[in-house]
Every structure is written in C-alpha cells, then in structure tokens.
Structure 1
C-alpha cells in the first residue's frame, strides 16, 4: 500500500512537471511572436507617419493612340520609399507604371510614368509604407 502511494505521487509530480514545461514553452513562444508583431507594427507606424511626398507637376506626351503621363514626385518625408513595392490606381483600378529609380530617398526627386488614353483621371499612388497621394490628371 505504501509503494503504490509513492508511485502515484511520482507519476503525478513528473506529469505536472511535463505539463508546466509545455505550458511555459508555449508561453515563451507566444510572447516572442507578440513582441515580433509589435515591433513590426511600430516600424510600419513610424514609416507611415514619416512618409510625405509632394507632386511637383505632371506632363503628357503623345505616344501613338495613347499618351504617356509622367508625374514628378519629391519625397519630403524622412523615410525612403521603395517604388517597386508601390501601386498606382487610376480611377480605382490598378495600373502598370514605370519609375525613375527603385527608391525615392528623403529629399530626392523622381517620377513615375504610365500610359493612358485621353480624358480626366483620378490617380492615386500608394507607397510601400501605406502613404497615399492623390491627384487629378487631364490628358
């Protein structure tokens, strides 16, 4: 009778240690993931709040039956913008465009060019930081 009590206590103690070890391991993993997500959020928030772009103008050149529209941009913020990860929306539809450089660094100027037919268009440039710039273009 005394032996079974000792074995039962040993089994319960060892299973409790294993249980709490698993719980602690999961807690550490979850805490690491939360910290990583918080750091990513903080970085994204910083980039968004410090992104500023001015449109310094645009010009239109005929190219066959359509027009090449070039929009001149100046980065007045303190964050570099990756133009390759940016998007261009024309009247709410994603459009293809080319850019003068892969990055638009702070206080630097660059441009984007897209092809469009004649008309008036609402253009939105969405940068990789989430910053958006709107303009109206008349072709």
Structure 2
C-alpha cells in the first residue's frame, strides 16, 4: 500500500505543477496585455489633453435650397493635427469638405478654412468638427 500511495502523490504533484505552469503562463500573458492597454490608454489621454480646436467665423453663399459654407477653424492645442483626419458633421450628418491648406499637417495656432458645398435648408444649423482622437468643437449658424 505504501508504493501505490507514493505513485498517486507523485501523479498529483506532476499534475499540480503542470496546471500551475499553464495557469501562470496565461496569467503572465494577460498581465502583459493589460499593461500594454494601460500604456495605450495613457498615450491617448495625453494626446487628448494636448488637442484642442476652435471654430471661428462661418460664412455662407447661396440660398436656402443650395448653399456653400466656409468655416475658419484654429488648432488651439499643442499637438500637430492632420486635417485629412478631421470629420465634419452638419446637422449630425458626415459631410465632405475641401480645405485651404496645401499640406496635411495642421500646426498649433494655425487656422484652416474648410469649405462644404451643396448643403441645403434654411433656419439654424449645427456644425461640428471632430479630430482624429475624438476632440471636437461645434457651432451654430443661420441661413436666411
């Protein structure tokens, strides 16, 4: 009876070591993934902290059936932005735009003029500009 007990204890010990090693490898990998996610989140929060835009003057030409607006937007943050990564929403709908900039970079304190064509409707409208990391600014304008 003593030999069988020793064999059973040895089998349990080997199984415990195997399961413990497997568990540790999974735990270590998940901790690495968690650390990477925290670092990515901190980098995104830092980018958001240094990103800011401000909508300036809004002008329109045309009538309420079809008009074009030009909007001056200033990068008021300390981070260089890519104006091609900006989303423009007019009354909640994603809108195509053209810009006055020659390069894709949008330096701090630089203003870029955005032009949106073939819009329609009279009365008050909302326009929102959203940067690549989610920071945005909105304004309202009136079409007679």
TM-score (norm 1): 0.83
Question: Which residue pairs with 1:117 in the alignment?
Answer: 120
Which residues of structure 2 form unaligned runs of 5+? none
Question: Which residue pairs with 1:67 in the alignment?
Answer: 67
Question: Which residue pairs with 2:44 in the alignment?
Answer: 44
Q: CA RMSD for the aligned pairs?
A: 2.2
Question: Which residue pairs with 2:26 in the alignment?
Answer: 26
CA–CA distance in structure 2, aligned partners of residues 4 and 98 of structure 1: 82
Question: 2:121 matched to 1:135?
Answer: no
CA–CA distance in structure 1, aligned partners of residues 105 and 79 of structure 2: 10
**Structure 1 residue 20: Cα displacement:** 0.9
Question: Which residue pairs with 2:3 in the alignment?
Answer: 3
CA–CA distance in structure 2, aligned partners of residues 94 and 122 of structure 1: 12
Question: Which residue pairs with 1:83 in the alignment?
Answer: 83
Question: 2:113 matched to 1:107?
Answer: no
CA–CA distance in structure 2, aligned partners of residues 105 and 61 of structure 1: 28
Q: Deviations over 1:54-111 (max 9, x none)?
A: 2232333449x62221211111211222333332221222222234453322222222
Q: Deviations over 1:107-139 (max 9, x none)?
A: 222222212125231111111122110111234
Which residues of structure 1 form unaligned runs of 5+? none
- Three-state SS of the structure 1 residue aligned to 2:6 is helix
